[in-house]
Structure 1
Amino acid sequence: MSEQDEQQTKPAKPDGSQTMSRRKFLRNSGYAVGGVVLGGVLGYLLPKRETPPAAPAPAQNDNNYNQALMFFNQEQYRITEAAVERIFPADDNGPGAKELGAAFFIDHQLAGDWGFNARDYMQPPFYVGEKTQGYQGRLRRREIFYIGLREIQNYSQKKYQKDFPSLAPEEQDAVLTAFQNDEVKLTTISASGFFNLLRSSTLEGVYSDPLYGGNKNMQGWTMRQYPGNQMAYTNIIEKNFTVIPPKSLKDHL
């Protein structure tokens, strides 16, 4: 029996309206629950619905989401960024530490185990170590950076009446040189010790795997013609080659 025939055979209500057929009820019920009933005995009763268009894919961009602050505040980051650029400046050979993201590398390291000295023995007694022994105190690296960056700012204000990032390059060099030579007298940390820590961290940021925030686009490796993290050399070891494109750990996922 067609739906039209079934409707015609249904007795009218006292008000003259037709009683809803079972077929129409089932079909409308399917709409009400979002069309859940799609197969089986009732599937053929439901009208076919067009598949809605897929959501558009997110727009592609060049954002590097690894370059985000995890420890520094904005002022500390700007001081660090300015300092690392003077330690490893841009020149004809390639970009400097600022463009390579060394300040982000340092920020990420301070936010993790390295910043907490998690793998170092940090129990007393504490003695002043020899120069070959490195730092022997109770402060963690993140605390040393916190103090050191603040003192760079204080020294710049005292000597030049400007914040360190606002100084001319030669003035920034003079400030960093004063720290390197222990001309700045600090009570809590060694000025030269902080400079050496900042310098070594800068070089690590320039040449580390980009996975850790620095060495942006592997440009640090490219300047040194370093191949990066190659998994093997068996396919080229017997060939005549001098330079191969570097690879990051991410390239092997």
Structure 2
Amino acid sequence: MSLTDDKKKKQSESERLSRRKFIKNSGYAVGGLAVGGVIGSVIPWDTEDKAAPQTNNKNNKTTNFTHALMNFSQAEFKMVDAATERIFPEDENGPGAKELGVAYYIDHQLAGSYGLNARDYMQPPFFNGEKVQGYQGRLRRKEIFRIALKEMQSYSQKKYKKGFISLTEEEQNAILTDFAEDKVKLMTVSPSGFFDLLRSMTLEGVYSDPLYSGNKDMDGWRMRNYPGNQMSYTDIIEEDFKDIPPKSLREHM
């Protein structure tokens, strides 16, 4: 082998080693970015116990990752949040609708088949039914909410010169009472019909399983000493009355 050939061989080996080292170091860099940077920051379960609920360290409360709007605008959500709190306010017995996340429950229900009356017969002709027959119109529930919230805001401005969420609790109570008693004259929706729907969905949000975004931390159940979704009572059925910590459907998944 000539001196020139030997020199070319060493240069080629050096280039291969340099490329190998570069690829290896690049792999470390990309891996560090993926795990500790972009992906690592987006997927929290890589750094948490998958069997344990996500909690807020400050007050040891469960973080509900379903609390995101699917139907309401921010303005509509704030109105529903305030209105449900007046229907189910916080008191000495426990939290109110706002803390329990009831407005999120309503938002998510209206975003799905319930809001579209998917299981109801919604074909004409439409007639005014008797009180016991319930709603007999063409509007879907999500449409009723959208229209009624605009009407409630308009009525609030007319009566108090302020938007609904800017009113005092007593003024908000008065607005809701006027709707419940059909004292508001509307051509679009039934005021009392909307209030009945809002009240019904508020109570659903307070006492439904937290899987559906309301009843945060199962505090609605705790106020009623309700055990939630227990898989079985066979281990305590023959014992004296026993308090059982509530369980959500999420804990059985």
TM-score above 0.5, yes or no: yes
Q: TM-score, normalised by structure 1?
A: 0.82
The DSSP-based 3-state class of the residue aligned with 2:9 is coil
Give the whole-Å Cα distance in 1 for the aligned partners of 2:2 and 2:175: 99
State the match for 2:9 in structure 1.
20
CA shift digits 1:157-177 (9 cap, x unpaired): 000000101100000000000
CA shift digits 1:102-132 (9 cap, x unpaired): 0000000000000000011111111111111
Q: Aligned Cα RMSD in Å?
A: 2.6
Contiguous gaps of at least 5 residues in structure 2: 49-54, 57-62
State the match for 2:101 in structure 1.
101
Give the whole-Å Cα distance in 2 for the aligned partners of 1:55 and 1:110: 37
Kindly provide the amino acid, as one letter, of the partner of residue 8 in structure 2.
T
| Alpha-carbon offset, residue 28 of structure 1 | 2.7
Assess if the C-alpha contact under 8 Å between 1:102 and 1:206 holds in 2.
Answer: yes
State the match for 2:60 in structure 1.
none
State the match for 1:236 in structure 2.
236
Give the whole-Å Cα distance in 2 for the aligned partners of 1:218 and 1:64: 11
State the match for 2:211 in structure 1.
211
CA shift digits 1:137-193 (9 cap, x unpaired): 000000000011111101100000001011000000000000000000111211000
Alignment of 1:122-161 (within 5 A): 122-161=122-161
| Alpha-carbon offset, residue 19 of structure 1 | 2.5
Give the whole-Å Cα distance in 2 for the aligned partners of 1:169 and 1:114: 30
Alignment of 1:9-48 (within 5 A): 10-13=1-4, 18-21=7-10, 24=13, 28=17, 31=20, 34=23
Give the whole-Å Cα distance in 1 for the aligned partners of 2:80 and 2:90: 16
CA shift digits 1:196-232 (9 cap, x unpaired): 0000000000000111110000000010011111111
* Bigger share in helix: 2
Give the whole-Å Cα distance in 2 for the aligned partners of 1:127 and 1:33: 77
Assess if the C-alpha contact under 8 Å between 2:64 and 2:216 holds in 1.
Answer: no
Assess if the C-alpha contact under 8 Å between 2:64 and 2:213 holds in 1.
Answer: no
Q: TM-score, normalised by structure 2?
A: 0.82
State the match for 1:73 in structure 2.
73
Contiguous gaps of at least 5 residues in structure 1: 1-9, 36-48
Give the whole-Å Cα distance in 1 for the aligned partners of 2:175 and 2:236: 48
Kindly provide the amino acid, as one letter, of the partner of residue 237 in structure 1.
I
Assess if the C-alpha contact under 8 Å between 1:11 and 1:19 holds in 2.
Answer: no
Matched, 1:84 2:84: yes
